[in-house]
Every structure is written in structure tokens, then in C-alpha cells.
Chains A and B, each alone.
Chain A
């Protein structure tokens, strides 16, 4: 019996998801026994041509992480779609755009201008910016093009399953792999390896909440000496646990940090940031505009807070107009 083939690829990524795969530690040896890895740029020396030469649909599962930001990402993911039975969006970036998705708040000109000229520590007197092509020894070399926006994987190719997390934890990764290799396919489009419920379900502090959860102020983590026995929301921290899918075993909360939402939305929610903002605003316990605004002033970057991992997959996908006028 031929071993199932798996491929792993990274788009606009920090490398954390690659490390997460390795994080499954000893189990990686089990994995290596169970499957044939046919493409994994970060670790193995297979080339694009090797993938092209594979028969269509011959890769059982391709795990793709990172957001689609460049034309070469687009090209590779489309190739892998052709060659794979199952495409898995692995990690927050490919599932919803992730942190790099926040790029969508800026237009390309704006970005280049900021990075290559406005940043105070940059010295670029000739205003050199990257260009697509360059000549080296009479050979023209081309760089891939930057797409107008960073896209989650499912806006480019059909995605069969999602594994959430920034990065997905080892347990989540292993559970997802087990599901994928078990032969019992969950409904297409499902999030696998994680929980069907929000983080509060598995959080040890959920039982400490009073009946009515309301806040009158907001604090940054460094402003609170966190009581490890009390729900962080009730201590004035903005914990997005109620809006975020569970399955991570509340690692951050157990380390006394409020959840920032990296496991993304639950199934019934279409725009994570909007829902998270809605739940938080709802529990601000004031009825007059002035007091409500005062609490909201404690949140200088609401988009970065509520859409940290999900801006690219939100209703508007980013800023309404790509370039500020």
C-alpha cells in the first residue's frame, strides 16, 4: 500500500506554522512513517518542477500556511490545488489572513513609502525602492509581483479544511492530522483539530464569572496584577476568549495573558472582528455617550485589537479604499 502523500507550503508567513508542525515532536517520526512528504520548501529540497510532475490529485493532503500576498504564492497554491485531493488552510494566516492581513489597511504606495523612506531609522537618500526586475550579468531577473491585497487562502483556491491558531498547537495539529488520515472526512469547509465552542468552555476561569459580566474600564495587561483565579474579563482585561474558538487549552490565559483571538471565529460567525467588537461594547456598563466614549478611548487601535488575525477575511477585507487620498 502506497503511503499517502502530503505537501506543505508557506505563503506570506512568519515560519511559526512550520515550527508548529515540527512541534508535534516525537510524533513527527510517527508521521514520517505514515506518510510521504513530497514538498516542503522549509525543510526538504523538492522543487516546483517536482510538484508539476506529480499526477493531478495525487497528493492526499496539502497543508498551506501564510496569507496569499505575492503572485508566486498564487501560482503555487493553484498548482497544489490541482495536484491535491485535500487542501488544508493551516494556521491563522491562510485561514483568515492572520496578522499580515493587517497590511490591507494600507495601499502599496503607502507601504513602500513608509518602509523605505518615512521610518525614522531608514537612511535612503536616493529613495531606492524594490522593483520587479533587475539585470545581473545581462540576465533579467524577475521578482514576483505584490497583489493589491493579502488574501486568505479560500479567496484564491477552494479550501477543504481549516486548522486554526497562530500557530496551531501541537495537540490541534496532531488531532487534525489524525482526522485527515482517518478516512472519515468531516463536512467540507469544517475547522478541524479544534473545539466547536468558544474558549470559555475549556477555560478554568469560566466558573469564576459572576452572573452578570459587565465592565466599566479597560486595562492593558501591564496595568493589572493578574489574579490567576479570576476570569480576566472581570479584571478589566480585554480577553477575546468568548468570541474565539477553543481547542488551545487556554494556554495564554493560563499564562495570565488575555486571549487575542488567534483561533478565529466560531462557525455561526461570519465576521470575527464585528462580533468581538459587539460583545465587548455590549458589556460596557454605561448608558451615556460620554462614559462609553471614555472607555473606548482606552482602545486606541480597535481594528488591530478585534481584527488582529481576521481582517483579510472580514466583510470588507481591509480598508475601504486601498490608498488614502
Chain B
């Protein structure tokens, strides 16, 4: 169809279930999530986890790609400042997320959609709480509506 007729793509449905991509650092957050599992805690089924060694590995390109591919929210989680398994990786993540959030806001993506959390290996409860909170927040914001991507 002519390019001029392609309009906004709507992703609205009655039961909006956000898709949240979660970049979890291996040593802290991933372990906390495993602990939540072994403790049989429950949280909403909206997360798709990508395991990395450190939150410092999270490239902003990954986050933009996630939004492009249907994520309504992105959670980046790593060790507490001062406790990074690799010393300072989480500080680099912090710097990048601060700048990226500003860029995302200019691009019409609300800052609540990119969340940065510090979750240590024993903090299963903190993770579950953050998970519930984030799903609630994204549900309130609604699906991320991207303008049509036009390809050949």
C-alpha cells in the first residue's frame, strides 16, 4: 500500500499485558530472581529475562531494540553501588541509564518505562516488589505505541 496511507499502529487490546524485557546481572539480580523462584514467590508473568554477566554490559542499543520489538517497559537490574561483582560495572550502567532516560523522554517514551534497580543476590523480596510495581506502572501508562516502521 502507498507509504502515505500507513497510519499509526495500534496495539490496544482489552486486557493489556505489558511485555517487559529484563536485563539481569548474573551475580546479583539473576541470583535474587532464582531465590524468588526457590522461595516460590509470585509475580506477574510479564518479564522476559536476558542474562548478562554485569549491568555494565547493558548497551543502550539493546534497550532501544527492546522497545522497537514490542517491549512496553525495560528493567535493567544489577548489584548495589559499591557491591558490583566487577567493582564498577553498575556505575557505568547508572551513567548510561541517566542519559538514555533523557533521550527516551525526548522520543516520547515515558521515563517510567525504563527502570533501573539495584537488587542484591539475597533480595528476592525487593525484586518481587519492584516487579509488581513496574507491571502496575506500565499497565497504567498503557502499551507503548510506536509509529509505523516502514520497510521495503
- Taking Cβ atoms with an 8 Å cutoff, the residues of A that contact B are 71, 74, 105, 145-149, 151, 154-158, 269-271, 273-275, 277-278, 280-282, 284, 286-287, 289, 292-293, 296, 299, 301-303, 306-307, 314-322, 324
Is B125 located at the chain interface by the 8 A CB criterion? Answer: no
B91: A residues at CB distance < 8 A: 287
- The answer to whether A320 touches B61 (Cβ under 8 A) is no
B68: A residues at CB distance < 8 A: 315-316
- The answer to whether B92 touches A282 (Cβ under 8 A) is yes
For residue A268, give the distance in angstroms from its CB to the closest CB of chain B: 10
Closest to B60 in A: A274
CA distance A301 to B109 in the complex (A): 15
- The answer to whether A277 touches B96 (Cβ under 8 A) is yes
For residue B118, give the distance in angstroms from its CB to the closest CB of chain A: 12
For residue A151, give the distance in angstroms from its CB to the closest CB of chain B: 6
- The answer to whether B102 touches A320 (Cβ under 8 A) is no
- The answer to whether A322 touches B147 (Cβ under 8 A) is yes
- The answer to whether B67 touches A315 (Cβ under 8 A) is yes
A316 in complex: contacting residue of B8, B64, B81, B94, CB < 8 Å:
B64
A275: B residues at CB distance < 8 A: 59-61
- The answer to whether B96 touches A320 (Cβ under 8 A) is no
CA distance A219 to B65 in the complex (A): 31
CA distance A74 to B2 in the complex (A): 9
Closest to B90 in A: A287
CA distance A70 to B138 in the complex (A): 36
- Over the window 118-144 of chain B, the binary record of Cβ atoms lying under 8 Å from chain A Cβ atoms (1 yes, 0 no) is 000000000000000000000000001
From known contacts A278-B59, A278-B61, A282-B92, infer whether A316 and B146 are also in contact, taking CB-CB under 8 Å.
Answer: yes
- The answer to whether A319 touches B147 (Cβ under 8 A) is yes
CA distance A306 to B104 in the complex (A): 12
- The answer to whether B7 touches A316 (Cβ under 8 A) is no
- The answer to whether B3 touches A74 (Cβ under 8 A) is yes
- The answer to whether B99 touches A318 (Cβ under 8 A) is no
Is B39 located at the chain interface by the 8 A CB criterion? Answer: no
- The answer to whether B99 touches A280 (Cβ under 8 A) is yes
A315: B residues at CB distance < 8 A: 61, 64-65, 67-68
A271 in complex: contacting residue of B7, B61, B149, CB < 8 Å:
B61
Is B52 located at the chain interface by the 8 A CB criterion? Answer: no
CA distance A156 to B65 in the complex (A): 21
- The answer to whether B4 touches A147 (Cβ under 8 A) is yes
CA distance A318 to B81 in the complex (A): 33
For residue A106, give the distance in angstroms from its CB to the closest CB of chain B: 10
Closest to B98 in A: A292
CA distance A274 to B7 in the complex (A): 26
CA distance A321 to B9 in the complex (A): 10
- The answer to whether A278 touches B152 (Cβ under 8 A) is no
For residue A78, give the distance in angstroms from its CB to the closest CB of chain B: 10
A317: B residues at CB distance < 8 A: 147, 149
Is B53 located at the chain interface by the 8 A CB criterion? Answer: no
Is B107 located at the chain interface by the 8 A CB criterion? Answer: yes
- The answer to whether A281 touches B98 (Cβ under 8 A) is yes
Closest to A70 in B: B4
- The answer to whether B60 touches A321 (Cβ under 8 A) is no
CA distance A280 to B95 in the complex (A): 9
Given contacts A147-B3, A147-B4, A322-B8, 10 further A-B contacts (CB under 8 A): A105-B106, A148-B148, A151-B3, A151-B150, A271-B65, A274-B64, A274-B103, A282-B92, A303-B106, A317-B147
- The answer to whether B98 touches A306 (Cβ under 8 A) is no
From known contacts A271-B64, A275-B61, infer whether A320 and B109 are also in contact, taking CB-CB under 8 Å.
Answer: yes
Closest to A297 in B: B102
CA distance A270 to B68 in the complex (A): 13
B35: A residues at CB distance < 8 A: none
- The answer to whether B144 touches A320 (Cβ under 8 A) is yes
A324: B residues at CB distance < 8 A: 108
For residue A317, give the distance in angstroms from its CB to the closest CB of chain B: 6
- The answer to whether A292 touches B94 (Cβ under 8 A) is yes
- The answer to whether A321 touches B108 (Cβ under 8 A) is yes
A301: B residues at CB distance < 8 A: 106
- The answer to whether A71 touches B3 (Cβ under 8 A) is yes
